[in-house]
Structure 1
């Protein structure tokens, strides 16, 4: 399998909006938190909330502006955060989002924050919410999201360095929030 270049879709990967069995799906965005909104301490950790000062963990560059623009158009109120977290990390995540004014800055309602205990549990949440586009920094999570038509592997701005190993045709690799926002708009309007 050929290695996909960062920020590019594979040839023929442009898709029409997903049409579920007997119904049209309205474009709905799902976004992971650790490594996509909140910067990672290291690639092997889910989040960097394990240290003594979780509120000081930085945001991923460009995330606030990109999500604010995507919430304004084209997704509107159909943006959800879906994060794998136990009780301690969930509490730290909520505290971080509040501390950084995330909900006010992006227009995403606090009620659109969903926690699951296992990575594979993101799939039924996405199906229930009608998620058509999902952004995660882990390919193993995206592999579980069969009901999600557009899956984006977010590399958090590590430049042209690609992910470890090959990327399946169903995933689009992206390195920055600015480029991701452009791709998301294109996929909805296309």
Structure 2
């Protein structure tokens, strides 16, 4: 299976900003944790926090710098982490974020960390928060987020591949945080930036 190129999107995937009920007037970014911020050890696990040393799990290359830049502009502190986790993984996630000074390094408020028990439960959280852009490493999660206009499949923190031609027109694939940050900045019109 071939790796999808950064920013590759199927024809017809150009979208206008979502203007549905409850949407905030400003762009808001949602980001998954496992496989997007924290590198996964294998596709059979949701996160690599199941090992004996979860705090040593590496961050995805470039994530701190990219999120710090995006939190400043164009999302102006409207960045939320939305992660599927049970109590143990949620505790490990909080511990990892604290251990790596994530909130200080990125400027994302600690109150913007949200956990759900099922992947599909990310959809109502995103709708409530007015998320306009979401990054996840799972296409099945992105498929549930029909109120999120800009959905990004991140391949840089996993060994996942997208078979040629199988990326839906509503998703954009990226395999580095540098490339993803560029796509996210370019998706927000200058008039909608703070």
TM-score scaled by length of structure 1: 0.92
Aligned ranges for residues 139-150 of structure 1 at < 5 Å?
139-150=139-150
Q: CA deviation at 1:77?
A: 1.4
The whole-number CA distance in structure 2 between the counterparts of 1:30 and 1:43 is 22
- RMSD between aligned residues: 2.1
The whole-number CA distance in structure 2 between the counterparts of 1:57 and 1:101 is 14
The whole-number CA distance in structure 1 between the counterparts of 2:157 and 2:134 is 17
Gaps in structure 2 of 5+ consecutive residues: none
* Counterpart position of 2:95: 95
Q: CA deviation at 1:103?
A: 0.1
Q: 1:112 to 1:24 in 2, by over 3 A?
A: closer
Aligned ranges for residues 47-62 of structure 1 at < 5 Å?
47-62=47-62
Q: Any idea what the Cα deviations from partners look like across 1:129-166, whole Å, max 9, x if unmatched?
A: 0000000000110010010000000001679x832571
Q: 2:39 touches 2:157 (CA, 8 Å); kept in 1?
A: no
Gaps in structure 1 of 5+ consecutive residues: none
Q: 2:35 touches 2:158 (CA, 8 Å); kept in 1?
A: no
Q: Which moved more, 1:25-34 or 1:79-88?
A: 25-34
* Counterpart position of 1:78: 78
TM-score scaled by length of structure 2: 0.90
Q: Any idea what the Cα deviations from partners look like across 1:40-90, whole Å, max 9, x if unmatched?
A: 010221100000000000000000000000001000111000000000000
Q: 1:58 to 1:23 in 2, by over 3 A?
A: closer
- Structure with the bigger RCO (C-alpha within 8 Å, sep 6+) is 2
The whole-number CA distance in structure 2 between the counterparts of 1:22 and 1:66 is 28
1:182 and 2:185 are equivalent in the alignment: no
Q: 2:142 touches 2:151 (CA, 8 Å); kept in 1?
A: yes
